[in-house]
Structure 1
Amino acid sequence: MAKALPIMFQGTNSDVGKSVLVTAFCRIFVQDGHKTAPFKSQNMALNSYITVNGKEIGRAQGVQAEAAGIQATTDMNPILIKPNSLNESQIVVHGKPYKNMEAGIYRKEFFLTGLELIQESLAILSENYERIVIEGAGSPAEINLNDRELVNMRVARMANAPVILIGDIEKGGVFASLVGTLQLMEPEDRDRVIGVIINKFRGDVRLLESGLTWLEEYTGKPVLGVIPYMKNLNIDAEDSVILNQYTAIPNPEKELDIAVIQYPRISNFTDVDPFFAESDCHVRFITKAEQLQNPDLVILPGSKNTSEDMLFLRKSGLAPKIVELRQKKQSVIVGICGGYQMLGEEIQDPFAMESQHQAMEGLHLLPIQTTITKEKTTVLSDGMLELYGKSFSVTGYEIHMGETEVDGGCKGLIETKGRTDGCKTADEKIIGTYFHGIFHNDEFRGELLNQIRHTKGLAPIQQRVSFNQLREESFDRLADHVRGHVKLDLIEQKMKEFQKRRIMQ
């Protein structure tokens, strides 16, 4: 692994901005002429990304590959962990389900296998790229887990990568978290840290300067940057923890109210990201029945455990509220993947692939029956979507373990490669599909929103945003923002000095 020059980003805890900074540096290095790839050895996430050959990896690594201008491969995320209950997760190895395992068993039985997978992927990336930008997970100071961890300092040692430690000042206690994390590292690992970055800063940086001076003197590590908080990034989030920042309250200043049902095992919620970029839309995430009210559009997103999340809808009182909205025939209701399955009559899980519920009653809003199967479908899809008397060319991706049959009285939604995907009612108020990314299709999304506007007596918006163009602009905007607030020359110098020092040792 001598070809590529690696750099690793670790954090004092989860949600400090590791994924975003890796995305930024992938773009920065490419802008500076280096063929660059992202890497995360082991990702625990329910937001997935489908590679061009139909394999499943963490969404963050797919997005980072896009920022680097390359196609994502499973070598960029060889191990994906998808929790499907409190104690058990589906282990995805090189894009395909390996087996369901409990955490303790995974640590005990998978460790050596994981090491081998990581070594192989790092070797492949190192042979094919000039830079590897590596993302850690959680914190490297989880001393109770470090003996068998597969994602932080052990990976840094395997890749011979210097480490930049990130602290999130927005959470408070950033100096304590940075100092504490460094002190809990083994000396060899602490020596690997070439500096720290303070992320999500708000305010006057001059008020921080005395603290930065103290931090450098106390730890001996340079502060490589203080990055101000960046709004409206339009880059996919990796973890559902970000949903905590969104409101459940309607915004009267926005003309269209969009309610997204946030069940406990929500997955691929980035499907709704394009609505955040629309000037007339307010997106809210709903967990309680009383929050639902009377939205114009209700979205039931994907789920890692459809039966359990369907049970949540019933126990929370959301299920009858959604049915009540259908009876009023005012709201458009769209179900995607697991949300599509919930709109039907019943979800059967005869092999207990997702839960112990062999049969779970759905919302009875579409005449469909779903059976959870042993084989997972992971594929990039395209087709022609028929809605509102118009045809739309759409692309998306599918990740599901269920097969859904339409019982009748329901028209298909998308014609794709000799089969029909999805289902819609005659009045086109209830729509279901397996296509993730369906709202990323600008023409379809615009027509959907304008149809809703028409029912409310509002004039259509003729020129809406191009979300894919917006994403590309966001990558550049993010790179410019980070470039302007880090000491990039010093980072480059320390990366190269670290490699020279390691070679001399």
Structure 2
Amino acid sequence: MIQGTTSSAGKSTIVTALCRIFVQKGIDVFPFKAQNMSRNYMHTNTGKRISSAQFVQAHAARIEPSELMNPVLLVPETDVGSEVVILGKSYKYMKAREYFEYKSELKEKIKEIYDEISSKHELIVIEGAGSPAEINLNENDFVNTGMAEIADADVLLVTDIDRGGSFASLYGTVMLLKEEDRKRVKGFIINKFRGDKSLLDSGLKMIEELTGIPVIGVIPYTHLEIVDEDSLIEYRKHAHCCFDPVMLEDEIERLAGIVTENMDIDKILKMLEE
């Protein structure tokens, strides 16, 4: 499972890259995000709505997009409410408080869906939402620590160093987790790094000593023409690049190459074997 210290840390991008990398290694992989809040969505071949991120991840995994990849999609309509889309179909508009209370009913459904897909696929790459350290939202959670528990998944925690405060974000996130959730975190990923990587070395060593968790990747800042699910993007993208299948394929291959070069993939594969 890929979790992040913040929104727009790079969770979707890392999941996309890993889906392609695992497929290249002959692994049957299925992307999954239990709940997504996004105005950017696509339609499957059966007309079901899922987040654009899971649509792209399906392409990376070389499988057909499915509503099972994103069972709950929240499409914001106001500052306090969203359209709730369940398994690709509109359910109803809910204000935040109403949805928060509804989550307890959804959690068992998410477990059933996860059990179904995990019985059919060799590997599920799960994406979290926002940050697992949003402790006010932990009750009945099924997208961050709650999802990791459902799947009994190891976690890689990604942070966006371009925005600053990454070491504090990594440390603070880990320290706010319950002990059982903290034990699931097996590695840190520093994303969107610019500059001389050797200048990071002392910081990487200190964060590893403070948390006991290794840094398994430092991914360089890269412009990618892949549609974003979040609004926190740094530059305007070319719309035709985001949806043209040939150009999307080229970008996914480029992304997978960059991540392979800058992340300890062998350590991840060993983790899966264990």
What is aligned with 1:471? 248
Instruction: Confirm whether residue 46 of structure 1 aligns to residue 39 of structure 2.
Output: yes
Distance in 2, matches of 1:163 and 1:480, equals 22
What TM-score do the two structures reach when normalised by structure 2?
0.96
Q: Deviations over 1:84-107 (max 9, x none)?
A: 111221100001111111100111
Identify the match of residue 69 of structure 1 among 53, 62, 65. 62
Query: What CA distance in whole angstroms lies between the structure 2 residues aligned with 1:484 and 1:104?
Result: 44
Report the residue type matching 1:127 in the other structure. Answer: S
Aligned counterpart, 1:136: 128
Q: How far apart, CA to CA, are the structure 1 residues paired with 2:29 and 2:247?
A: 22
Q: How does 1:376-395 map to 2 (within 5 A)?
A: none
Q: How many residues align?
A: 274
Contact kept, 8 Å, 2:104 with 2:140, in 1: the verdict is no
1:149 aligned partner = 141
Residue 234 of structure 1 is matched in structure 2 by: 225
Partner of 1:13: 6
Determine which structure has the larger helix proportion and give its number.
Answer: 2
Matches within 5 A, 1:237-252: 237-242=228-233, 245-246=235-236
Structure whose residues are more often strand by fraction: 1
8 Å Cα contact 1:10/1:136 also seen in 2: yes
Residue 266 of structure 2: aligned partner: 489
Q: Alignment partner for residue 173 of structure 2, among 169, 175, 181?
A: 181
CA distance in 1, matches of 2:220, 2:81: 38
In structure 1, the residue matched to 2:26 is: 33
2:222 and 2:38 mapped to 1: Cα distance?
A: 23
Unpaired runs of 5+ residues, structure 2, are none
Matched, 1:60 2:53: yes
Counterpart of 1:487, as a letter, is D
Partner of 1:209: 201
Distance in 1, matches of 2:204 and 2:272, equals: 21
Aligned CA-pair RMSD: 1.4
Provide the identity percentage: 49
Q: Shift of the alpha carbon at 1:492?
A: 1.5
Partners of 1:187 and 1:477 lie apart in 2 by 37
Distance 2:230 2:150 in 1: 26
Aligned-pair CA distance for 1:199: 0.4
Q: Distance in 2 between matches of 1:240 and 1:209?
A: 31
Select the residue among 78, 84, 101 that pairs with 1:85.
78
In the alignment, residue 8 of structure 2 is paired with which amino acid? D
User: Cα distance, 1:234 vs. partner?
Assistant: 1.7
1:73 to partner: Cα distance: 0.9
Matches within 5 A, 1:269-284: 273-274=239-240
Kindly indicate whether the alpha-carbon contact (under 8 Å) linking 2:40 and 2:52 is maintained by their aligned counterparts in 1.
yes
Which structure's relative contact order is higher, taking Cα pairs within 8 Å and 6+ residues apart? 2
Q: Which amino acid aligns with 1:185?
A: L
Q: Aligned letter for 1:240?
A: S
> Structure 2 CA distance, aligned partners of 1:495 and 1:197?
17
**CA distance in 2: counterparts of 1:83 and 1:470, whole angstroms:** 29
Q: CA deviation digits over 1:37-82, x for unaligned, max 9?
A: 1000000001111111111111110110011100011111000001
Contact 1:76-1:121 within 8 A present in 2 as well? no
C-alpha distance in structure 1 between counterparts of 2:91 and 2:205, whole Å: 49
Aligned match of 2:214 = 222
Correspondence 1:372-411 to 2 at 5 A = none
Counterpart residue identity of residue 172, structure 2: G
Question: What letter matches 2:123 in structure 1?
Answer: R
Question: Cα distance, 1:35 vs. partner?
Answer: 0.8
User: Deviation at 1:117?
Assistant: 2.0
Q: 1:245 corresponds to which letter in structure 2?
A: Y
SS at match of 1:148: coil
Which runs of structure 1 show a deviation greater than 4 angstroms over 4 or more consecutive aligned residues?
A: none
1: CA distance between counterparts of 2:51 and 2:142? 16
Which position in structure 2 is the counterpart of 1:326? none
CA distance in 2, matches of 1:470, 1:245: 18
